Amino acid sequence: MIVQKQFFSIDSFLFEEENRRIPVKIGYETYGSLNQAKDNAILVCHFFTGTSHAAGKYQENDALPGWWDALIGPGKTIDTDRFFVICTDCLSNINFNNPNVVTTGPASINPETGRQYGMDFPIFTLKDVVKTQKLLLDSMGIQKLKYVIGPSMGGLQAFMWARHYPEMVEKLVSVVATPMMRPACLMVPNQLGIDAIMLDPAWKNGNYYDSMPPKSGLLLAFKILLTATRTDHWSHSNFGRKFTNQDSARTPFNSFSEKFLVETEIEKTVLQRMQFFDANSYIYIAKANSLFDLCENDETLEQALKKIKIPVQMIIDQSDLMFTQEQAEEARTWLSDCEVVYYNSRNGHLSCLYETDYFSSALKNFVV
Amino acid sequence: MIVQKQFFSIDSFLFEEENRRIPVKIGYETYGSLNQAKDNAILVCHFFTGTSHAAGKYQENDALPGWWDALIGPGKTIDTDRFFVICTDCLSNINFNNPNVVTTGPASINPETGRQYGMDFPIFTLKDVVKTQKLLLDSMGIQKLKYVIGPSMGGLQAFMWARHYPEMVEKLVSVVATPMMRPACLMVPNQLGIDAIMLDPAWKNGNYYDSMPPKSGLLLAFKILLTATRTDHWSHSNFGRKFTNQDSARTPFNSFSEKFLVETEIEKTVLQRMQFFDANSYIYIAKANSLFDLCENDETLEQALKKIKIPVQMIIDQSDLMFTQEQAEEARTWLSDCEVVYYNSRNGHLSCLYETDYFSSALKNFVV
């Protein structure tokens, strides 16, 4: 499936928390065709550090397809022969090195100053992100979605949809996400990742666009993120206690530059992903995750969840350390129509991307 | 119980990994009395970031007693009316601000240069640490220990004792520690903590003793450590999603300096502990933990564990994310005489210090 990035502009987008308006451009992709009745649309929301490139390839010889290509495509679980699938970039998902990701963020030029926003970019929440999606759908004339689905931060957005635009969503599917951002999850990786980037002297309060970006801080933030989204079992079965330099396994290990294989492999993965990431964007999206909260005003979570009446499917990996079975069971008691599907990859949160076979048939049964 | 710090000097201690010798001074404490036969001694090994102050108070009005005072004392589980209990500082456990902790480490003066060792201090392993304990016992004329016990890094040392000086140990008790350092545990908190400190520009390759120490890096390292040793349940039940500034709970949350209660409370705890900690010491002890390995030469872990013949008790918190039930079960199959005691505090690894009631009676039954 050959796909292409598209763009949607909002002349004056209101950031609710700061009550500020700025022009915003959002990257998105679509797969399949919108039917005449405009009633076959599905919204897919991406995970933290992901992009709107959810499926297909830009060119036949791309090394890898979009991140949920295993699920989305002709005849697949999310069947593009029948449905029109939309995936948008999260606000601030800019990357100045990658022309395919140009969603407005801290690295964008502030038209008022002619310079990058940096840390003057407005703080946003996932409610704002969902609103950009709503405006895109409005512009397409789509009044109802078959369902909203996403893994991790994408699942949080699905809950935001059900909470704020219930009349537009038939069903929601939350993969490896519960409708709560509990404090452990808020700390790891979000707040600790922010700390790591801000600690890097190259960060310079976010004003690094004319100099070297804070690579070391971003590397540490990504390492914290990747470690938190995996398990003891995953790293043990993949790397054990091997040293990167295999010759040194039993020779004197007397330098801080000698590393374990687990660390250098994680760094290798991270460095690939980091090419497409701006450190300030990481800070803003991590903050948006930390601020995730379904409650409005003085509502409790119980009250907020009881307002969600549409059918919900929560797909939870029992080895996930961030969005746990305990959270899912608590949420289930407050949702009026909720099915929880458990699987156990033993590999943690990231199984949502690489081991979709665990849940694809349960998903298919729910969304037919 | 009023106690005092004592000191033991080794004129020329061999650091095995680097094959270097330097003079070393080790702080230690003892509780109870050594009997005439010298056969009533127990060795207690401390956890990462702990000290040899395991029990009692230096002065009646000390705010807190030693870290395992709930277990160690007259008539307690580790009964100082009957036993002579020894706890030594881990190598490098120096703190230049705290006269009670003066064990040789990177902040000590190198007699050859007249300046602090900094990163020229030898890399050491827990095998070296255990050897310092062995030399202290030799100097006291103690040839056999009733048992060696410790939580976390202390449990790893107990396994080192059984592996390298089996003739000197009757039994070993490992609390919230298994005899393996698997890669997830090696990363979090050890290697990520080292990264955090080295990222701080104040660290200056470890040469900060004439300037401001790398407080921000050490703070992040400790935050990573504290988060890894607790659970989702712990932070949720203690802090929920409260903001530090309670007034801002539902008001616009539009600043990166506004924090969640979980974060500021963790920082508060960390800042108290940091007063007594040198950043380079953190790096060295984290490295010693990462390098923990019972295997010698080409041994597998199975072969190494099969050489341990003394009775072993492993006490495991099922909510511990670092030393897990899966690891304990694997180790049990290779140990000839091993009892595993499980409890579930739901609060994670640190329960070993604050919730000792979960395992004190099982411990008592094992060591009588």
- The residues, ordered by sequence, that sit 6+ positions from A66 with a Cβ below 8 Å of its Cβ are A3, A29, A53, A54, A55, A56, A57, A72, A87
Lowest model confidence (mean pLDDT) among A9-18, B33-42, B274-283: B274-283
Please name the member of B220, B240, B261 whose beta carbon is closest to the beta carbon of A196. Answer: B220
Work out the average pLDDT over B151-180. Answer: 98
The chain-wide mean pLDDT, for chain B, equals 93
A265-306 pLDDT, tens digit each: 999 988 888 877 899 999 999 999 999 999 998 899 999 999
pTM of the model: 0.95
Question: Which neighbouring-strand residues pair with A226?
Answer: none
Domain boundaries, chain A: 6-182+294-367, 186-286
| Contact flag A186-B255 (C-beta cutoff 8 Å) | no
Confidence band (pLDDT; 50, 70, 90) for A98? low
Looking at the complex, does the CB of residue B349 fall below 8 Å from at least one CB of chain A?
no
Looking at the complex, does the CB of residue A256 fall below 8 Å from at least one CB of chain B?
yes
Residue of B219, B237, B254 to mutate when probing chain A, most A C-beta within 10 A = B254
Work out the average pLDDT over B98-103. Answer: 71
| Contact flag B232-A297 (C-beta cutoff 8 Å) | no
With contacts defined as CB-CB under 8 Å, which chain A residues touch B259? 191
Residue B174 is predicted with a pLDDT of 98
* CATH code for the part of the protein at A186-286: 1.10.1740.110
CATH topology of domain B6-181+294-367: Rossmann fold (3.40.50)
With contacts defined as CB-CB under 8 Å, which chain B residues touch A194? 256
Residue of B178, B205, B260 to mutate when probing chain A, most A C-beta within 10 A = B260
Kindly report the nearest CA distance between residue A215 and chain B, in angstroms.
11
Q: Is the pLDDT of residue B283 over 80?
A: yes
Residue A320 is a catalytic residue: yes
Cis peptide before B189 (omega within 30 of 0): yes
With contacts defined as CB-CB under 8 Å, which chain B residues touch A326? 232-233
**CA distances (Å), B28 to each of B8, B156, B159, B276, in order?**
8, 19, 20, 16
Q: Is the pLDDT of residue B248 over 60?
A: no
Choosing from A79, A128, A317, A320, the catalytic residue is: A320
Contact A269, A91 (CB under 8 A): no
Residue B211 backbone phi and psi in degrees, to 5? -140, -160
Q: Is the pLDDT of residue B252 over 50?
A: no
Residue A252 is predicted with a pLDDT of 39
A170-211 pLDDT, tens digit each: 999 999 999 999 998 999 989 999 999 999 999 999 999 999
Calpha distance B60→A324 (Å, rounded): 45
Residue B291 is predicted with a pLDDT of 92
Residue A154 is predicted with a pLDDT of 98
Contact A352, A230 (CB under 8 A): no
Report residue A63 CA to chain centroid gap: 21
Neighbour tally for B139: CB within 10 Å: 11
Q: Is the pLDDT of residue B163 over 80?
A: yes
Q: Is the pLDDT of residue B249 over 70?
A: no
Calpha distance A343→A353 (Å, rounded): 14
Q: Is the pLDDT of residue B239 over 50?
A: yes
Residue A152 is a catalytic residue: yes
Residue B97 is predicted with a pLDDT of 58
The chain-wide mean pLDDT, for chain A, equals 93
Q: Is the pLDDT of residue B246 over 90?
A: no
The more confident residue out of A340 and A255 is A340
Percentage of residues of chain B with pLDDT beyond 70: 96
Chain A 209-248, residues with CB within 8 Å of chain B CB atoms: 216-217, 220, 223-224, 227-228, 230-236, 239-241
Residue of B236, B243, B292 to mutate when probing chain A, most A C-beta within 10 A = B236
A170-180 pLDDT, tens digit each: 999 999 999 99
Looking at the complex, does the CB of residue A272 fall below 8 Å from at least one CB of chain B?
no
Percentage of residues of chain A with pLDDT beyond 90: 85
Confidence band (pLDDT; 50, 70, 90) for A119? very high
Looking at the complex, does the CB of residue B120 fall below 8 Å from at least one CB of chain A?
no
Question: Which neighbouring-strand residues pair with B28?
Answer: B6, B88
B264 three-state secondary structure: helix
Please name the member of A18, A254, A326 whose beta carbon is closest to the beta carbon of B233. Answer: A326
A151 three-state secondary structure: strand
Chain A 15-44, residues with CB within 8 Å of chain B CB atoms: 17-19
Residue B275 is predicted with a pLDDT of 77
Confidence band (pLDDT; 50, 70, 90) for B96? low
Q: Is the pLDDT of residue A321 over 60?
A: yes
Calpha distance B207→B119 (Å, rounded): 8
Work out the average pLDDT over A225-241. Answer: 92
Residue A35 is predicted with a pLDDT of 98
| Contact flag A241-B199 (C-beta cutoff 8 Å) | no
Kindly report the nearest CA distance between residue A70 and chain B, in angstroms.
28
**CB burial string A193-231: b at 16+ within 10 A, e below:** bbbbbbbbebbbebebbeeebbebbbbbbbbbbbbbbbb
Work out the average pLDDT over B18-25. Answer: 94
Please name the member of A187, A263, A321 whose beta carbon is closest to the beta carbon of B187. Answer: A263
Work out the average pLDDT over B140-150. Answer: 98
Q: Look at strands B312-317 and B338-343 and give their pairing.
A: parallel
A47-69 pLDDT, tens digit each: 999 999 999 999 999 999 999 99
Residue A334 is predicted with a pLDDT of 98
| Contact flag B252-A119 (C-beta cutoff 8 Å) | no
Looking at the complex, does the CB of residue A120 fall below 8 Å from at least one CB of chain B?
no
With contacts defined as CB-CB under 8 Å, which chain A residues touch B220? 192, 195-196, 199
Q: Is the pLDDT of residue A248 over 60?
A: no
Q: What is the DSSP string of B145-159?
A: EEEEEEETHHHHHHH
Kindly report the nearest CA distance between residue B262 and chain A, in angstroms.
6
Calpha distance B171→B150 (Å, rounded): 12
| Contact flag A232-B200 (C-beta cutoff 8 Å) | no
Lowest model confidence (mean pLDDT) among A288-297, B90-99, B333-342: B90-99
Residue A358 is predicted with a pLDDT of 98
Calpha distance B76→B70 (Å, rounded): 8
Residue B152 is a catalytic residue: yes
Residue A286 is predicted with a pLDDT of 96
Looking at the complex, does the CB of residue B199 fall below 8 Å from at least one CB of chain A?
yes
Nearest chain A residue to B214, by CA: A199
With contacts defined as CB-CB under 8 Å, which chain B residues touch A217? 199
Choosing from B52, B92, B108, B152, the catalytic residue is: B152
Calpha distance B164→B185 (Å, rounded): 23
Calpha distance A121→A111 (Å, rounded): 12
Residue B251 is predicted with a pLDDT of 43
Residue B190 backbone phi and psi in degrees, to 5? -60, -65
* Nearest Cα residue to B312 out of B150, B172, B160, B179: B172
Contact B335, B178 (CB under 8 A): no
Residue B256 is predicted with a pLDDT of 83
Residue A221 is predicted with a pLDDT of 96
ipTM of the complex: 0.94
* CATH code for the part of the protein at A6-182+294-367: 3.40.50.1820
The more confident residue out of B101 and B2 is B2
